[in-house]
């Protein structure tokens, strides 16, 4: 019996070892290195480094641009997240079922998720193009041409414009997530609720939503990570401009490291980003740790 167990342990270890090793070398080690580099002044062009202690973090504490970037990330999280989850929930609920149309529509909504972020950004740059973009053309068609403007180049509209693209891209994935969650709710429960007189919004609030809770929790944590790590979309659509109005943590990091050859500060930004992501996802998990269906049981 014992030998059999040991054999099993080796068997499991044999499968885990390659992945663990890769993870350690390519994920854990670089993260540790990043913490180390953030304590240096380093131009990232030779081995020459100067230890500066926590100077990079002191600078970070007083950095107005970082605060601005973080605020933009939080806008992605709060506004973008609420819109994405709300829309996804509504649509998933609306197309619940297994008919041909429901499946087709689910496929269509998933589409943005499977195309590359670069393509998404380019596509929306075409949508917003102030000369021949679809958005301008659509507004003109319905007689609202005077509302057409330079969405990505105007300080006040650039962030909302990128946010819309962010939501457009993220919503499909969450529809899929919620659709899968909805299918796990037993039909009997829904029927019982209906027989008890709970229908429409009431049934959704009292039965469906609580039963979707585990899925919602995953979606929120996923959204925290996605919104705080947004990079390619912003970098391609606006490069953080105009005048930093769409700057996010990671575009700022890229600027500091690669354009300003300030890899020490760049890595300090990476550490700060890591801390914020960890803190907010931890907070989300803490706040959502109790499953409401369990509480009632």
Partner 1 sequence: MQRWIRSAALAASAVYLALGAVSCGGKRESEKAGTLNVAAFKGGYGLDFFEDAAKEFETERPGTKVKVWGNPRVWEQLRPLFVAGKPPDLAYPGWGMDHWPLVYENQLMPLDEALAGKPWSGEGKWADTFEPALLKLGQHGGKQWMLPYFYNINGWWYDKALFAKHGWTPPKTWSELLTLCGKIKAAGIAPITYQGKYPYYALHGFLFPWVVSAGGIQAFDDMQNLKPGAWKSAAVIRAASMIRELADKGYFQSGANGMSHTESQMEFVNGRAAMIPCGTWLNSEMREQLPKSGFEMAFFLPPTLDGGIGDPTNIDIGIEPWVVPSKGKNHGTAIDFYKYMTSLPKAKQFVERKGTLTAIKGSDEVKLPPYLVEPAAAFRASKAIWSVEYIQWYPKLGTASQNATAALLAGTVTPQEYAERLEAAAELARKDTETPRHTVTR
Interface residues with partner 1 (CB under 8 A) are 7, 10-11, 14-15, 17-18, 21-22, 41, 43-48, 125, 128-131, 149-155, 158, 238-239, 241-244, 255, 258-261
Question: 176 with 106: CB under 8 angstroms?
Answer: yes
Q: How far is the CB of 26 from partner 1 (least distance, A)?
A: 11
Q: 150 vs 291, which CB is nearer to partner 1?
A: 150
Q: How far is the CB of 265 from partner 1 (least distance, A)?
A: 11
Q: How far is the CB of 247 from partner 1 (least distance, A)?
A: 9
The burial of 224, by beta-carbon neighbours within 10 Å (0-12 exposed, 13-18 middle, 19 or more buried), is given as buried
Q: How far is the CB of 244 from partner 1 (least distance, A)?
A: 6
Q: How far is the CB of 234 from partner 1 (least distance, A)?
A: 12
- The β-bridge relationship of strands 49-51 and 40-42 is antiparallel
Q: 194 vs 261, which CB is nearer to partner 1?
A: 261
C-alpha to C-alpha distance for 80 and 162, rounded to whole angstroms: 10
Q: How far is the CB of 115 from partner 1 (least distance, A)?
A: 20
Q: 188 vs 243, which CB is nearer to partner 1?
A: 243
C-alpha to C-alpha distance for 50 and 244, rounded to whole angstroms: 30
Tokens 């970082």 belong to which residue? 66
Q: 21 vs 82, which CB is nearer to partner 1?
A: 21
Q: 25 vs 202, which CB is nearer to partner 1?
A: 25
Question: 52 with 39: CB under 8 angstroms?
Answer: yes
Both structure tokens of 22: 């890769």
Q: 158 vs 269, which CB is nearer to partner 1?
A: 158
Q: How far apart, in Å, are the Cα atoms of 200 and each of 197, 213, 275, 279?
A: 10, 18, 41, 37
* Listed residue (62, 171, 168) closest to 121, CA to CA: 168
Dihedral (CA of 252, 254, 260, 264) sign: positive
């Amino acid at each position: 019996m014992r030998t059999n167990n040991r054999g099993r342990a080796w068997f499991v270890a044999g499968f885990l070892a390659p992945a663990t090793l890769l993870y350690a070398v390519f994920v854990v080690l670089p993260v540790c290195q990043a913490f180390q580099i953030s304590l240096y002044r380093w131009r990232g062009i030779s081995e020459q480094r100067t230890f500066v202690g926590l100077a990079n973090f002191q600078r970070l504490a007083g950095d107005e641009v970082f605060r601005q970037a973080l605020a933009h990330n939080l806008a992605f999280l709060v506004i973008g997240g609420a819109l994405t989850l709300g829309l996804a929930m509504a649509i998933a609920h609306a197309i619940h079922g297994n008919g041909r149309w429901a499946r087709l529509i689910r496929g269509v909504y998933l589409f943005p998720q499977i195309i590359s972020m670069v393509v998404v950004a380019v596509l929306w740059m075409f949508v917003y193009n102030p000369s021949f973009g679809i958005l301008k053309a659509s507004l003109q068609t319905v007689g609202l041409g005077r509302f057409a403007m330079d969405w990505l180049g105007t300080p006040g509209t650039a962030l909302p414009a990128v946010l819309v693209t962010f939501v457009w891209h993220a919503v499909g994935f969450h529809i899929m997530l919620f659709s899968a969650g909805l299918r796990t709710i037993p039909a009997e429960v829904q029927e019982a609720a209906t027989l008890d007189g709970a229908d429409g919004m009431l049934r959704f609030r009292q039965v469906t939503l609580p039963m979707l809770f585990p899925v919602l929790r995953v979606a929120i944590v996923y959204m925290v990570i996605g919104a705080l790590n947004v990079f390619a979309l912003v970098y391609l659509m606006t490069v953080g401009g105009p005048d930093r109005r769409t700057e996010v943590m990671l575009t700022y990091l890229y600027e500091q490291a690669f354009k300003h050859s300030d890899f020490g500060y760049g890595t300090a930004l990476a550490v700060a980003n890591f801390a914020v992501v960890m803190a907010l996802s931890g907070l989300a998990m803490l706040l959502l740790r109790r499953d409401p269906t369990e509480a009632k049981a």
